[in-house]
Chains A and B, each alone.
Chain A
Amino acid sequence: MRTIELVVMALRAILGNPMRTILTMLGVIIGVSSVVTLVAIGQGAQVQIEKQYENLGTNLIVANVLGRGRAQQLDYNDLMQLEMLPEIGAMAPTVNKNNSNVKFEHNEDQFNVVGTNDRYLEMMKGEMASGRFLVDGDLEFRSSVAVLGSETATTLFPGEDPLGKVVTIEGISFNVIGVMQKKGSTIGGTSLDTSVIVPLETARRTFKIGSITTTYVEAATKDDLTQAQTTLTQYLTYKFKSSNGFRLLNQDQLMNARVAASSTLTNQLISVACISLLVGGIGIMNIMLVTISERTREIGIRKSIGAKRRNILLQFLVEAAVISSLGGLIGLILGCALSWAIPLINPAQATKLSLDVGIYAFLFSALVGIIFGLYPANKASKLRPIDALRFD
């Protein structure tokens, strides 16, 4: 008997009872479609994270000061001395005042205020839409000037040019000198688009922010990254008299940490989906056992006219495999459709379909059918013709 004939025979048996077939396939459909969708979500998140960091220079190091207190104080001018070193390209120390009230006439909202220096824009790979960014002089004279993120600007100045206007931050007036272009991606939750950038010393004094919390450091070249990191570690350890008062992360580490966090979650979800695929397999086994006891007479008839054990075994095995791979195929299509629809419904949730995962999920579902079909099919093939014929 040829395989194609077996498959046709199995398809006919399956189509003879469509409702039951669909119910049997349901477990596999749910299993495969959720694996495909979850993998697409996981990979989509990863791509998104990678894209965010791609926007940053690859030789960026972020130095975070942990904890507060006098011992943890960094002096801006001291820090900037490090720029003299050959391995260090640029430094942008920052102070942050998150969720500050920013107001222009009747428009107001909460924005993140960042006090920093002129290097900040380039290090964040930001660009100006209009006006100018901070310059050395702004820091030197502690001027009350502000650069707005694109979203900040549209919220406070709908349909109006913000340049030259005066906004109040926590009740204190600042001149708007520039507006940045939309950037989109976020790093560590702070987005350039929803920020207000002011000179570092101005921020420290006006808002009584004690210490520099985050410093962005750019190594001179990619090859200097390790050296720059060593230098910073030595410097900060010396400053804080301890190596636990700060944390240094380079871009790869930052990205990997976030990718790892997001993939742990996806992997857990995927394993739950795989369990549902196995449960689907058990469902197939269950139905195949029922089918075989219902079709005992058929088995007897086939044996009486000359079907061998392997003909019967193959018949039911192919039937189980066809049910599960058909379920797998439907699951695959459903999974692709879901992965395509999710970003349309929720633009923040990117998805990325990968062909090989789809193929693996499909093959796995066929395998599940074969494994769980083996026991019932073997049982059917071992029936003695006379017992099977007498059965009704």
Chain B
Amino acid sequence: MDNMIELEHIVKTYQRGAETLHILKSVSLTVARGDFVAIVGPSGSGKSTLMNTIGLLDVPDSGTYRLDGVLTSNMSDNGLAELRNRKIGFIFQQFNLLPRLTALENVELPMIYSGIGKKERRERALVVLERLGMGERGHHKPSELSGGQQQRVAIARALAGNPSLMLADEPTGALDSKTSAEVLELIVQLNRQGNTIVLITHDMHIAENARRIVTIRDGEIVSDERLDGAPSERLTEAVSR
């Protein structure tokens, strides 16, 4: 059993006044370790909601979710925080760096919460920053960096804790096309090095860099294909139903 993500019948609703909005309607999805999945779909289809569920930032109304074999339902806030810290690296569209901290300190942050000592933290942060070509910029504040550089720092931060899963919600959404290509290339490389990646985008060109594309519409998975041609098991299942 080497699945990183196992979602079964995930339902998420929001209450807007008297109306109940069904954002995720019984979504089931399995992602194997080392895979690179792009989730695509029109705006408002529930992509971010799905990713927040995978990232343990939000809790579904029903359904079960196993992350790296660990059942996450009924977990305490603390347990979820610890899982996020150890297993997940987030890359956000808005970078989400802390503006008062330097690049280096931002990268150190997840390691502070996992209780790694100051010296080791610093060393590891420097190594990751260097790997992303940001070794020279460690002492810059986010505001002193370009968008592409900020996203590199954010990726470094996501990598610093050595997570098993990287989640990226429109990571190039705030970047120009040249830097977008660079950041995307980085993500592809990370996958080649063995990281499991879930990437959300509404740009098919970007999605084509993944190994697998899952399309979501109105809170339902409507297609799921492997880019090497072979359709994934899930889709066949869905089609045959």
Contact = CB atoms under 8 A, between A and B. Distances in A.
A12 interface: yes
Contacts, number: 63
A305 B84 contact: yes
Contacts of A13: 100
Interface stretch (A51-59, A63-71, A295-303, A317-325): A295-303
A16 interface: yes
Interface stretch (B39-47, B52-60, B144-152): B52-60
Interface stretch (A88-96, A307-315, A342-350): A307-315
B90 interface: yes
B138 to A, nearest CB: 17
Contacts of A384: 58
A311 B85 CA distance: 13
B177 interface: no
Contacts of B78: 308-310
B82 A305 contact: no
Nearest to A307: B113
A297 B157 CA distance: 17
A137 interface: no
B115 A1 contact: yes
Given A1-B115, A298-B98, A305 B90 contact: yes
A101 to B, nearest CB: 76
B113 A305 contact: yes
A386 B98 contact: no
A331 interface: no
Contacts of A308: 77-78, 81-82, 113
A306 B116 CA distance: 13
A234 interface: no
A306 B110 contact: yes
Contacts of A386: 52, 57-58
A219 B78 CA distance: 77
Contact of B81 (A12, A300, A303): A303
B145 to A, nearest CB: 16
Interface in A1-51: 1, 5, 12-13, 16
A307 B161 CA distance: 13
A310 B55 CA distance: 20
Interface residues of chain A: helix, strand, loop or mixed (majority): helix
A268 interface: no
Contacts of A5: 112, 118
Interface string B99-133: 01000000001101111001000000000000000
Contacts of B157: 305
30 contacts: A1-B113, A12-B100, A16-B100, A297-B96, A300-B96, A301-B97, A303-B81, A303-B84, A304-B57, A304-B84, A304-B90, A305-B113, A305-B161, A306-B82, A306-B84, A306-B85, A306-B110, A306-B114, A306-B161, A307-B113, A308-B78, A308-B81, A308-B82, A309-B81, A311-B113, A384-B58, A385-B57, A385-B84, A386-B52, A386-B57
Interface of B: 52, 55, 57-58, 77-78, 81-82, 84-86, 90, 96-98, 100, 109-110, 112-115, 118, 157, 161
- Which 9 pairs of residues, A with B, have the shortest CB-CB distance? A306-B85, A306-B113, A386-B58, A305-B110, A308-B81, A386-B57, A385-B57, A301-B96, A306-B84
